[in-house]
């Protein structure tokens, strides 16, 4: 019977995937297994008795690496590394190597056990994954992640550097008129022009779309000037696309670390502000960030460029304000109110970015995010109250709006009857046909529809009667003006009567005092919303202190005059209609005015 030692020897010699052999104390090969022959190409009689130095590259041998390997293994008992090794035919492979010192009973080193594994394929796969994770597939440049990683390393080393953000001014027109293939050619050509500046120490990246970035270490003012000149020169070079060679104007903004900002995200915001300054000025040269520019650039166009990215970065959040029944003061609904936690500008309220989103078209994506988040949150609450979500005209006229509502309900599991979509009077008037068709379809599925800010527009009675709203919300300005000593409550009563005639629940917004609540309860209103019953907060499952009122959220007397005029016009129209309908009681609309 074979001894255990013989069995072990047979096992080692039979291994095919690992090169396993012994070295003498001086590094001479003394054994050789099948795996070593397969990986390195030597038969046993060709290599046994020769130095293991033949497996190293010429550079490693000249550097003394073989001797260091044995010295470390002798001292520490083990040496492990990865590197290039040479086969018998001269080809190279990437090897994972371990060398263990072999000692006798007297603790003397009598040789080394060496195990080598060919990991070339695994290394190439790992490198390919790293390249894919850090490379823009269209241009081959670094992507945003790799670029930010490099900037992070520079900032950690406290090395001064400058960053340039670049935007191609005519890219959308080229893409729309010449096609996406021409647009891709332009992007690749621009990338090539920028890439050639690497010889000047400039690193470059494509951040997405037609936005590029460049950065360089800038130890002094002269280096900053050289960096800016290099980037500008690259952007002035012609690019071959759609069969023509042409220069495409670009806007370039530059910011310096740490002179302009000591935080990477703030640095990029400042470079973006400078770039937008260049775009607004029509500048052909790079614009540097200067004090006060960020505040100027926190404008419609500056914020508008960041909305889609802010959605992706989860910078938006929803607060919820309760809507309460006047009958028993129970919370019957929650209105979703969006806020933007901007990384530099701080907390932004809807009035600071919603008009921008409506202008540049990003309101559709932002509105869809609100809808999905609100449905998801509401579905998680034990409170079974409805969730009210504002929708814009752009959303209602978008071909995918109905699908987005269905998807939000399906993904969240929220019952359709708990979702209420709010539309303003102005949207109803300007998009009557689309709104009525869309909402009629949604109501069939059980979704509730509310008319928001009622009393601030000039809706005709025909418009209001053309659709069966589930709820009518009276704007805070109507409440404020109607309760002034010099005014009567006729406007409120007229709207209440109309709402009830339309079988709609009537909710009054902006209720802030007990006196207002009691008046509204006495007059017969159904629901209220305002600071009296709850400020915007985390919702029923995560109650929080909410946020303090802002000046823009409190009603002003001057803001109520248009509402009063609208209400008085409505009164006149109601009175005329009521007179016309005098006669049989069936179908009459009677207004109980004093």
pLDDT of residue 289: 94
Q: Please report which helix (H) or strand (E) contains residue 76, including its range.
A: helix 65-76
Statement to judge: residues 492 and 533 lie in one domain: yes
Q: What's the mean pLDDT when you consider all of the chain?
A: 82
CATH number of the domain residue 165 falls in: 3.30.70.270
Of 482, 513, 514, the closest CA to residue 495 belongs to 482
Range with lowest mean pLDDT among 257-261, 352-356, 517-521: 352-356
Q: Which domain holds residue 243?
A: 135-297
- Residue 271 falls within a domain, yes or no? yes
pLDDT of residue 459: 53
Q: Are 453 and 423 in contact (CB under 8 A)?
A: no
Statement to judge: residues 471 and 399 lie in one domain: yes
Range with lowest mean pLDDT among 24-33, 41-50, 66-75, 565-574: 565-574
Statement to judge: residues 281 and 317 lie in one domain: no
Which of 124, 153, 181 is where one domain is finished? 124
The fraction of the chain above a pLDDT of 90, given in percent, is 50
Query: What counts of helices (H) and strands (E) characterise the chain?
Result: 25, 20
Helix/strand/coil for 204: strand
Count of Cβ atoms closer than 10 Å to residue 398 Cβ: 21
Pull the structure tokens for residue 19: 């090169």
Statement to judge: residues 491 and 345 lie in one domain: yes
Statement to judge: residues 238 and 350 lie in one domain: no
Which of 70, 102, 124 is where one domain is finished? 124
- Residue 546 falls within a domain, yes or no? no
- Position 591 pLDDT exceeds 90: no
- Position 487 pLDDT exceeds 70: no
Of 452, 367, 378, 361, the closest CA to residue 417 belongs to 378
Statement to judge: residues 382 and 419 lie in one domain: yes
- Position 575 pLDDT exceeds 80: no
**Bridge partner list, 323:** 333, 529
Q: Identify the burial level of 415 via C-beta atoms within 10 angstroms of its C-beta, where 0-12 means exposed, 13-18 middle and 19 or more buried.
A: middle
Q: What is the pLDDT of residues 492-537, one digit of tens each?
A: 788 788 778 777 889 999 999 998 899 899 989 999 999 999 999 9
239 vs 430: which has the higher pLDDT: 239
Statement to judge: residues 340 and 285 lie in one domain: no
CATH number of the domain residue 93 falls in: 3.30.450.20
Of 76, 32, 77, 79, the closest CA to residue 54 belongs to 32
The reported pTM is 0.47
Statement to judge: residues 318 and 414 lie in one domain: yes
Statement to judge: residues 96 and 225 lie in one domain: no
Contacts of 266 (CB under 8 A, 6+ apart): 343, 344
- Position 11 pLDDT exceeds 90: no
Distance CA 45, CA 62 (A): 27
Distance CA 222, CA 104 (A): 65
Range with lowest mean pLDDT among 127-141, 342-356, 389-403, 449-463: 449-463
Statement to judge: residues 86 and 140 lie in one domain: no
Of 281, 385, 294, 383, the closest CA to residue 345 belongs to 294
pLDDT mean over 228-250: 89
Statement to judge: residues 414 and 561 lie in one domain: yes
Half-sphere exposure of 174 (CA within 13 A, CB side): 22
- Position 309 pLDDT exceeds 50: yes
User: How many domains does the chain contain in total?
Assistant: 3
Q: What pairing do the DSSP bridges indicate for beta strands 109-118 and 19-23? A: antiparallel
Range with lowest mean pLDDT among 315-324, 467-476, 529-538: 467-476
Statement to judge: residues 262 and 394 lie in one domain: no
- Residue 589 falls within a domain, yes or no? no
104 vs 2: which has the higher pLDDT: 104
Cis peptide before 258 (omega within 30 of 0): yes
Distance CA 240, CA 257 (A): 34
Ramachandran assignment for 434, one of left (phi > 0), alpha (psi -120 to 50 degrees), beta (any other)? alpha
- Position 438 pLDDT exceeds 80: yes
CATH number of the domain residue 430 falls in: 3.20.20.450
pLDDT of residue 4: 52
Q: What is the pLDDT of residues 155-190, one digit of tens each?
A: 999 999 999 999 998 787 677 667 888 889 999 999
């Amino acid at each position: 019977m074979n001894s255990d030692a013989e069995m072990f020897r047979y096992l080692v010699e039979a291994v095919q995937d690992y090169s396993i052999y012994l070295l003498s104390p001086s590094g001479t090969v003394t054994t050789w297994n099948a795996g070593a022959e397969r990986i390195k190409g030597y038969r046993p009689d060709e290599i046994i008795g020769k130095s293991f130095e033949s497996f190293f590259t010429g550079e490693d041998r000249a550097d003394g690496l073989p001797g260091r390997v044995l010295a470390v293994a002798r001292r520490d008992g083990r040496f492990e590394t990865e590197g290039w090794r040479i086969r018998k035919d001269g080809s190279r492979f990437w090897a994972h190597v371990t060398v263990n010192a072999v000692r006798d009973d007297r603790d003397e080193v009598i040789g080394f056990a060496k195990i080598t594994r060919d990991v070339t394929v695994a290394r190439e796969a790992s490198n390919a994954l790293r390249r894919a994770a850090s490379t823009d597939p269209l241009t081959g440049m670094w992507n945003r992640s790799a670029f930010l990683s490099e900037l992070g390393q520079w900032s950690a080393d406290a090395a001064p550097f400058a960053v340039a953000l670049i935007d191609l001014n005519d890219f959308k027109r080229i893409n729309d008129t010449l096609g996406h293939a021409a647009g891709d050619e332009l992007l690749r050509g621009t990338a090539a022009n920028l890439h050639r500046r690497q010889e000047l120490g400039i690193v470059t990246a494509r951040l997405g779309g037609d936005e590029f970035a460049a950065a360089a270490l800038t130890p002094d003012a002269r280096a900053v000037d050289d960096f800016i000149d290099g980037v500008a020169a690259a952007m002035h070079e012609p690019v071959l696309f759609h069969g023509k060679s042409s220069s495409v104007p670009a806007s370039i903004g530059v910011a310096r670390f740490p002179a302009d900002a000591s935080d990477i995200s703030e640095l990029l915001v400042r470079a973006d502000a400078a770039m937008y300054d260049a775009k607004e000025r029509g500048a052909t040269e790079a614009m540097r960030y200067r004090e006060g520019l960020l505040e100027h650039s926190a404008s419609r166009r500056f914020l508008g460029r960041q909305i889609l990215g802010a959605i992706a970065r989860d910078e938006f959040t929803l607060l919820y304000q309760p809507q309460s029944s006047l009958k028993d003061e129970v919370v019957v609904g929650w209105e979703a109110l969006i806020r933007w936690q901007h990384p530099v500008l701080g907390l932004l309220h809807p009035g600071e970015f919603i008009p921008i989103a409506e202008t540049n078209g990003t309101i559709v994506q932002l509105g869809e995010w609100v809808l999905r988040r609100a449905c998801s949150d509401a579905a998680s609450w034990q409170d079974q109250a409805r969730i009210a979500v504002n929708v814009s005209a752009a959303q209602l006229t978008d071909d995918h709006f109905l699908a987005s509502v269905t998807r939000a309900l399906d993904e969240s599991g929220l019952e359709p009857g708990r979702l209420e979509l709010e539309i303003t009077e102005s949207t109803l008037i300007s998009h009557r046909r689309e709104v009525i068709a869309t909402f009629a379809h949604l109501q069939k599925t059980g979704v509730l529809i509310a008319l928001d800010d009622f009393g601030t527009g000039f809706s005709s009675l025909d418009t209001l009667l053309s659709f069966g709203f589930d709820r009518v919300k009276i704007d805070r300005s109507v409440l404020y003006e109607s309760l002034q000593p010099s005014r009567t409550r006729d406007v409120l009563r007229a709207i209440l009567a109309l709402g009830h005639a339309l079988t709609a629940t009537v909710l009054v917004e902006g209720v802030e005092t007990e006196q207002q609540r009691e008046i509204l309860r006495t007059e017969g209103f159904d629901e209220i919303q305002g600071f009296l019953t709850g400020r915007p907060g985390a919702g029923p499952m995560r109650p929080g202190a909410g946020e303090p009122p802002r000046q823009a959220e409190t009603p002003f007397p001057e803001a109520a005059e248009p509402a009063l005029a609208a209400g008085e016009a409505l009164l006149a129209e109601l009175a005329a209609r009521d007179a016309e309908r005098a006669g049989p009681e069936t179908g009459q609309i009677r207004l109980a005015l004093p």
